[in-house]
Amino acid sequence: TPITEYVDLSFVSTLPQTEVEMKTVANGLKYKVTLSNKSDVIAYQNILKAKDADRELIPAVLWSDNFLTLLPGQSKTVRCTLPAGSGPATITMDGWNAAVRQAAPDSLDRNLSAYAVNDFSRDDTYSKEETYDIVKVQQPKGKKVKNIIFMIGDGMGFEQISCAWVVNGGKLNMDNMPVLGASRTYAVNKLITDSCAGGAALASGQKTNYGYIGLDPDGNVMDTQLKKAQRAGKKTGITVTCRLNDATPADFCNHSPARRLEEDLAAQYVTSNVDFISGGGLHFWNQRSDGRDLIQEMQAKGYTFVDKLEDIAGAEGDKFLGIYDEYDLQDVGQRGPVLLESTKKAIEMLDNKKGFFLMIEGSQIDDWAHRNKIGYMCEELFDFDRTLGYVLEWAARDGQTLVVVTADHNTGGLTLLRGDLQKHEIKVNYSTKGHNGIMVPVFAFGPHAEDFTGVHENAEVGQIAMKLIK
């Protein structure tokens, strides 16, 4: 209601037009938006919206603020979180008297600063000056499998590996693995699978329906590698860079007919008896609609809770729960070596006379392939491969640890068009922002690695591993 001094509001409609610069930085489901009014005219009542690939408004977006007025020369930064399961979003602004100009990437952008000279401004090209050295290990001679470390690069096909290999100067830790096979990933009821069915086949040794987590096509709870290891008296662990209640980690110890039931999937960890749990998704643990605080429930069961990278190494106790973000973890440039450090801690805590089973997922290889951003995808794959390097060195010393590296599916329809090994650069093309049905690799190292040679159904990969758990 107008106050006395401003009974006539016609001045609002006659404000001079101005331009607002908008810079958007996406990190999984989280977006940071900076608006800058560099003119000498007020930018009045600007409304921010998040829209999907079809330019439809995304509902239930959590904004820190999305209704802004900017004074001349003023800048404001706001944040929003998309609902779980959302695809990539476009942030738009409707202004009373302001048009929007998208800011060009610069060297101060988060897209660049995390990797110094690395240029993320192009989605279809990538190069980097600094590469990392890989480990050199020899295949153990023994045949006894005491431990299994099962590593999943979500969305990681031969194409993604080939691109990363070039950018790292023609070397990856995967090069050490003496056995290479291939896996067909289709689901029971759909040729192009999702992470639910793809992960379930690897976890259980049985194909299932698209969208099913830990359930067979008839809706029955399936046995898994992790559960069998528990029955054999082994310790178990899961470490990922996505939400713990996301499809792949949940496939190994939980079950659901739909991945959207995230609160229920998170709650199942309380009774899972998994010894080491590390990932994201804090929102579903202590900001729940049922009022439960799963963190407190886990602590009551003897779990040490950690929510920061720097606290992982010093954590004590027999059971570990690490949750480092409200939803998925940030990209590797922002989160740091969480996957590597949590893997080190997991092996330290799980190693015992009876053995252990550990599932490690490079979850965000898939996320950035969905977004068709080759630079971020490569960095997530490098994070996964550096973690593999540590695993291989440990497994080579141990001599009784089988290491399997594979993927639940392939993402992005990626093609490596050209590049330069000496310059560590690539040029690529994506044909889709979804999954595709191309076979994915199966690498193996350690005792019984040769069992994974050849072309397999994804369920067969799980079956081979399960038979070795004794």
Residues annotated as catalytic are: 195
**Hey, how many other C-beta atoms are within 10 angstroms of the C-beta on 454?**
12
Residue 87: exposure state from Cβ atoms within 10 A (0-12, 13-18, ≥19): middle
Q: How far apart are CA 87 and CA 105, in angstroms?
A: 22
**Hey, how many other C-beta atoms are within 10 angstroms of the C-beta on 125?**
17
Query: What are the helix and strand counts (H, E) for the chain?
Result: 14, 23
The dihedral region occupied by 85, where left means phi > 0, alpha psi between -120 and 50, and beta the remainder, is left
Across-strand partners of 360?
Answer: 151, 239
The phi, psi pair for 297, rounded to 5°, reads -65, -40
Q: How far apart are CA 166 and CA 174, in angstroms?
A: 13
Answer for the pair 383, 338: CB distance below 8 angstroms, yes or no.
Answer: no
Tokens of 15: 């404000």
State how far the alpha carbon of 423 is from the alpha carbons of 124, 169, 373, 380, 415, in Å. 16, 8, 20, 20, 19
DSSP string, 388-415: HHHHHHHHHHHSSEEEEEE-S-EES-EE
Q: How far apart are CA 26 and CA 31, in angstroms?
A: 5
Q: How far apart are CA 239 and CA 293, in angstroms?
A: 21
Tokens of 27: 């990190």
Task: Please report the beta strands in 82-172, taking only residues with DSSP state E, as ranges in sequence order.
Answer: 90-95, 98-102, 125-127, 147-153
DSSP string, 302-354: TEEEE-SGGGSTT--SSEEEEE-SSSSPPPHHHH-SHHHHHHHHHHHHH--TT
**Hey, how many other C-beta atoms are within 10 angstroms of the C-beta on 239?**
27
State how far the alpha carbon of 194 is from the alpha carbons of 40, 183, 247, 307, in Å. 51, 14, 9, 29
Q: How far apart are CA 67 and CA 361, in angstroms?
A: 39
